[in-house]
Amino acid sequence: METKAPSESRTIKTEIVCPNDTNPMGMLQGGRLVEWMDIAAAICGQVHTCKICVTVSMNNIIFLKAAKIGDIVTINASITKVFNTSMEIFVEAYAREVSNPKKSLIGRAYFIFVALDENGKSTPVIDVCPTNESEQKLYAGALIRKQMSRNS
């Protein structure tokens, strides 16, 4: 059975926080951050599957710190586990000021995507094989997260 390592589809997306991305306090709106994270996750899934992938759900979305106008936001997306036609993708977002190279974790979430065939029907996804301890922990936890989301 063919598999791919998470590194083969890992996606990094970069944005700058502009005034139209913020609330009246000049802080990045949560919805805009989720939009950017969703796009990074979609790209990650599509690179992994070579198919169009659509969002099924977003789980455990956590906003940890605010980004502000002018900050550079870097979003990392990586597949954690494949479930036949769907896949879990872990996304983390970091922000930094232009004048300071120190990044701060501002948010993270787990996204579930489904791959679609040319008729818009869900289609099987190539499996993912974790290659390091961090990937193995995310892989092992994915089934638990899936069961918990079904029970809520």
Q: What angle do CA 83, 86, 92 make, to 5 degrees?
A: 100
Could you list the residue range(s) of the whole structural domain that residue 82 is in? 3-151
Nearest to 93 by CA among 35, 140, 47, 147: 35
Residue 52: which CATH number? 3.10.129.10
The total number of structural domains in the chain stands at: 1
Are 17 and 67 spatial neighbours (Cβ–Cβ below 8 Å)? Answer: yes
Write out the chain's pLDDT in tens, 152 residues. 689 999 999 999 999 999 999 999 999 999 999 999 999 999 999 999 999 999 999 988 999 999 999 999 999 999 999 999 999 999 999 999 999 999 999 999 999 999 999 999 999 999 999 999 999 999 999 988 888 776 65
